[in-house]
Amino acid sequence: MFLKRLECSACGVEHEGSRLQNLCRSSNKPLFAIVDLKAASRTMTREALLAREKSLWRYREVLPLPADVEPVSLGEGGTPLLGAPKFAEDVDLWIKDESLNPTQSFKARGMSVGVSMAKYLGAKKLAVPSAGNAGGALAAYAARAGVEAHIFMPRDTPRANVVECRELGAHVTLIEGLITDCGAEIARRRENEGWFDMSTLKEPYRVEGKKTLGYELAEQLNWQLPDVILYPAGGGTGLIGMWKAFDEMEALGWIGKDRPRMFAVQAAGCAPIVRAFEAGEKSAAEFPNANTMASGLRVPKAIGDFLMLKIIRESDGGAIAVDDEQMVRVTPEVGGKEGLFICPEGAACFAALKLLRSANKIASGERVVIFNTGSGIKYLEAYDRVSAR
Ligand SMILES: Cc1ncc(COP(=O)(O)O)c(C=O)c1O
Ligand SMILES: [Zn+2]
């Protein structure tokens, strides 16, 4: 057993890892898994990894599931890191293509680990508010685990996500409103219904799956982290997870003290972190009238806001907003030059790269990694709508 305990990311209060937990009992903030890195390092060495399976379960010793328990897996992780020399001639650009995960998005990572733990700890009915991709991923992993999935999505969630959840056997409810309204509906009903709330960062283990983005990136770059990371931030779980992974890898002696400059990329129509960053605030106020085609970025209020803000400041990175028009313009450019049909959230990062280069916040020759967090295929109506104009 490599999981030592859970610890609050805000106040440090300890919680048991041996039962189902949501937020910190004392501060209502996210709990983090504390892994026994000393024990992990006995078997998980950089050399040992070379012989292991490609999925994210290759990092088994730093994941919370006990070693003798079978994970709920569909082959998540192990996605390619692709050079993108044609899109950006003057920086050393790489794309981590997360659209190759099961259910075509990086949400598979979090759900594989989150559902594995929920099942192991006895949950039978899982509920999640989703912008779309997290719902699809929960539906798939819940089916695989033999537990119920109850998914709440805004009515205008991309059609592909809704149909996918339905065909995977989930209970789907469409809500008039935003992801925050979906979360509130679950909070109201979960006790009566016996649901375990799988909202991102409101349970401790999805972020553990997402942290494998950081492990994989380091491994693929031969343990040399890039200068800059551009991440499309909604709830921010990937950004927060990667930062945790970097700290763990430093403790393991795998990397040094240097960190990439972390940029949270948001949509101009929903940019709570950008606003808070620019205002010098430690947490972010709810963004009014959130609206963007990048449905994964339509998160007006995130429980991990304070963690994202801390990370982008500590790393000397930043937060930047991109409007839908810029996402739409850059998508066929990436498609035509690099051969990837990216999602609007990924597109936001490519547009942000152009802005950050013009502002000289990224220098010529720097190594930059963009996360294409999902597939453009899930957003056909959004891309159709704009190309028909
Ligand atoms: C494709 C895509 N990219 C990015 C995000 C934002 O991810 P996070 O909540 O980890 O910030 C989402 C969330 O729904 C998404 O679906
Ligand atoms: Zn706390």
User: What DSSP assignment string belongs to 232-249?
Assistant: E-SS-HHHHHHHHHHHHH
Q: In what order do the strands lie in the sheet with 171-175?
A: 171-175, 148-154, 125-129, 196-197
Tell me the CA–centroid distance for residue 51 and ligand 1, in Å: 31
d(CA 184, CA 163): 23
Closest ligand (CA of 13):
2
DSSP state at residue 83:
E
Q: At residue 180, does pLDDT exceed 90?
A: yes
What's this model's pTM, rounded to 2 decimal places? 0.97
Q: Residues lining ligand 1, judged by CB closer than 6 Å?
A: 105, 131-134, 200, 232-238, 296, 343, 345, 373-374
- In this predicted model, what pLDDT tens digit does every residue of 110-134 receive, in sequence order? 999 999 999 999 999 999 999 999 9
Ligand 1 probe mutation, 297, 309, 311, most atoms within 8 A of CB:
297
Tell me the CA–centroid distance for residue 370 and ligand 1, in Å: 13
Instruction: Determine the average pLDDT of the residues in 281-295.
Output: 97
With bands split at pLDDT 50, 70 and 90, how would you rate the model's confidence at 388?
Answer: low
CA-proximal residue: ligand 1, atom 16 (nearest): 296
| C-alpha R_g of the chain | 19
Q: Please name which of 269, 303, 195 lies closest in space to residue 185, comparing C-alpha atoms.
A: 195
Instruction: Determine the average pLDDT of the residues in 274-280.
Output: 98
Q: What is the chain's length?
A: 389
Tell me the CA–centroid distance for residue 13 and ligand 2, in Å: 5
Tell me the CA–centroid distance for residue 245 and ligand 1, in Å: 18
- In this predicted model, what pLDDT tens digit does every residue of 214-230 receive, in sequence order? 999 999 999 999 999 99
d(CA 92, CA 240): 24
Q: At residue 389, does pLDDT exceed 80?
A: no
- In this predicted model, what pLDDT tens digit does every residue of 183-218 receive, in sequence order? 999 999 999 999 999 999 999 999 999 999 999 999
Tell me the CA–centroid distance for residue 296 and ligand 1, in Å: 4
Q: Which atom of ligand 1 is nearest to the CA of 133?
A: 16
With bands split at pLDDT 50, 70 and 90, how would you rate the model's confidence at 2?
Answer: confident
Strands, E, within the chain: which ranges?
Answer: 3-8, 14-15, 31-35, 81-83, 92-97, 125-129, 148-154, 171-175, 196-197, 228-232, 261-267, 318-322, 367-372
User: Residue with structure tokens 């970097």?
Assistant: 246
Q: Which atom of ligand 1 is nearest to the CA of 346?
A: 3
Q: At residue 234, does pLDDT exceed 70?
A: yes
Strand partners, 83: 94
CA-proximal residue: ligand 1, atom 6 (nearest): 234
pLDDT for the residue numbered 96: 98
Q: Which atom of ligand 1 is nearest to the CA of 210?
A: 10
Q: At residue 1, does pLDDT exceed 70?
A: no
Q: At residue 164, does pLDDT exceed 70?
A: yes
Supply the mean pLDDT for the chain. 97
Q: At residue 302, does pLDDT exceed 70?
A: yes
d(CA 380, CA 343): 10
- Number of Cα atoms under 13 Å in the Cβ half of residue 186: 29
Tell me the CA–centroid distance for residue 110 and ligand 2, in Å: 22
Q: String of b and e for 300-314 (b: at least 16 CB within 10 Å)?
A: bbbbbbbbbbbbbee
Q: Is 365 helix (H, G, I), strand (E, B) or coil?
A: coil
Q: At residue 300, does pLDDT exceed 70?
A: yes
pLDDT for the residue numbered 385: 79
Instruction: Determine the average pLDDT of the residues in 265-270.
Output: 98
- Number of Cα atoms under 13 Å in the Cβ half of residue 294: 34
